[in-house]
Amino acid sequence: MRQVPEPEHSKWVRRMRELARQDAEELVPRPPFAVLGLSAPDLSPAALASSQQVNGVWESITVAYGDWAALAGPHVTVTTAAAASADETPDHAAIRRNLEAELLREIDSERSRKAQFSGVDEEEPTEPPRYTRERLPIGEALICRHGNVWAARLVAGSNGTGAGGVSVTITGRGVDPESVRIGPAGDLRAYFQARNEILGQFAERRRNLPPPVLEPAEGVAALRALADHTLEASARIRAAGRARRPPRHPADWGRVRGALWRRAVSEQQRIAGIGRLAADDVVTLVINHLGHLDEQAPWFTDPRLRELAIDETLRYAMLGDDVPSKPAQQAWAKYWGVSVERWRRLPEPGDVLSDVQEEQPIAAAWRHAWEVWARRA
């Protein structure tokens, strides 16, 4: 996974607003399926929380109701998705397991959204999730309850909304499932506009927050702090993948990463006597180098080799030390340069295949150089 510095948050908000405008222009005039929303209880604001496309086709739309930052709620999301085609010979046990995993992922996504907008981390509930099949006023549903959040998937054909051919998932906190009613969402423009307002308010709150407090670090130690922070996040992502759950980062993770990145760039500028953009390129190269080792080098799980590789990579990049892994460092610089050039140019027909063919031997040379180093270290 390519790592890039955190953009200025105002730029991120502007980009999200522009994406919302583009999505609204494409989605609002011709919804691909009947979008459902919350009829009761009456919660505001009502805003688009997320939407998903697959190969240019709208697959799901989630509308959120209530304060996005209120940990106690009340808060409800309603996700309408194109219904999957039925299997002629369904494995009912496997279907049930998949549904349970999907509901737990919905709860995790709700907790992540709350952490992002409230700035508060919620502890993982001590008790395991509970799954029950219940008949609610909105229809028969499989419900997952985990801590103070629940998620429900309506059984196909059981809802009384008149919306066919869709899958309906509802999450809630501070609201009893028995009190929820759903119906047609209506004009989607209002939901896009409300999301823009929420993003703007969120950006304003973040601008007024004091900067994160970092442990003191200078020189290579500043770059090491950023590397450790990034590798810890990658470990969380892998652990979440094994558990079939979305990763949950600490609420302030992004702001801390941005502060660590800026400090590392500043230290690179100071030590190397170069400009900010050149220093940022060095930091980007290093963090991506370590990330690729973490993903692709089997020996990187060995604590001794891992520590040596991190130390040499940081000293070579920031100080120019003549480290034993210098051939691998040089091979990475060549590989990274080719990759960056590909990302920067506009794609043309046939580029993907030719790029892969060009990069494969360079990537192989980089991996081989590190393997040689690992055998000798």
Band of pLDDT at residue 247, cut at 50, 70 and 90: confident
Q: Report the alpha-carbon distance of residue 131 to residue 133 in Å, rounded.
A: 7
Give the model's confidence band at 223: pLDDT under 50 very low, under 70 low, under 90 confident, else very high: very high
Decide if pLDDT at 1 tops 50.
no
Residue pair 300/309 in contact (Cβ under 8 Å)? The answer is yes
pTM here? 0.73
Spatial separation of the C-alpha atoms in residues 336 and 287, rounded to whole Å: 11
Sign of the dihedral defined by the CA atoms of residues 229, 108, 156, 190, in that order:
negative
Closest alpha carbon to 6 in 356, 299, 258: 258
> CB of 12 within 8 A of CB of 29?
no
Model confidence at 258: pLDDT above 80: yes
Is the confidence at residue 72, as pLDDT, over 60? yes
pLDDT band at 3 (very low <50, low <70, confident <90, very high): low
Q: Checking DSSP bridges between strand 46-54 and strand 139-146, what pairing results, if any? A: unpaired
Confidence of residue 210 (pLDDT cuts 50, 70, 90): confident
More confident residue, 374 or 244: 374
Q: How far apart are the first and last CA of the chain?
A: 27
Residue 226 in tokens: 């950023």
Tens digits of per-residue pLDDT, 115-165? 888 888 888 899 999 999 999 998 999 999 999 999 999 976 555 454 557
Rounded CA separation 356/338 (Å): 11
**What is the CB-side half-sphere exposure of residue 154 using CA atoms within 13 A?**
29
Structure tokens at 295: 């993903």
State the Cα–Cα distance between residues 112 and 119, nearest whole angstrom: 10
Sheet with 130-136, strands from edge to edge, namely 46-54, 57-65, 75-82, 166-173, 149-154, 139-146, 130-136
Average pLDDT over residues 353-375: 83
Predicted local distance difference test score (pLDDT) of residue 162: 44
pLDDT band at 353 (very low <50, low <70, confident <90, very high): very low
At 81-106, the pLDDT tens digits run 887 655 555 677 888 888 999 999 99
- Residue 18 pLDDT exceeds 70: no
Encode burial over 240-260: b for 16+ CB neighbours within 10 A, e otherwise: beeeeebbbbebbbbbbbbbb
* Percentage of the chain exceeding pLDDT 90: 56
Confirm if 293 and 363 have CB atoms less than 8 A apart. Answer: no
Instruction: Please report, as a single letter, which amino acid is at residue 361.
Output: P
